[in-house]
Amino acid sequence: MSTRKPFATVSLALALSACVVVPVEDEVAASSCDTYTKSMTLKTVTANGGGLHCRDEACLAVILAVSAGSLIVSGSIVLTNNTVHWLEYQGSCDDSFLNTTKQRFLDSLDDPKPVSAKLLAQ
């Protein structure tokens, strides 16, 4: 019987047992536009195992499920929040890409270019 698979499972579980992923608000950067939402990132937090001793596969499965679950839930929160933050920034800030492009387009409509003589002759 090979001991590689149980050893690999135990090693992975012990490595992840104290690892939980949480969403954290980024530090506020200097900006000319204040937004209600703030951008977020993921941070790994090492929790004290409290003398956790797993001796069966069910315990290892719980440890892996908690680590993976925290990554999935926290990642979804960060993705959703950053999407809302980007949309808010694009809609309300003057220096955003969408507002700058819109303003250039509107300025081009107000200041039409002269029509060439060839086009007028036709």
Judge if pTM exceeds 0.85. Answer: no
SS3 69: helix
Q: Which residue has the higher pLDDT, 2 or 68?
A: 68
Determine the Cα–Cα distance for residues 60 and 53; give it in Å rounded to an integer: 10
Distances (CA, A) of 100 to 27, 80, 103, 113, 121: 25, 25, 5, 20, 36
Q: Residue 60's pLDDT is what?
A: 74
pLDDT digits (tens, 9 = 90+) for 73-116: 999 999 999 999 999 888 888 888 888 888 888 888 876 666 56
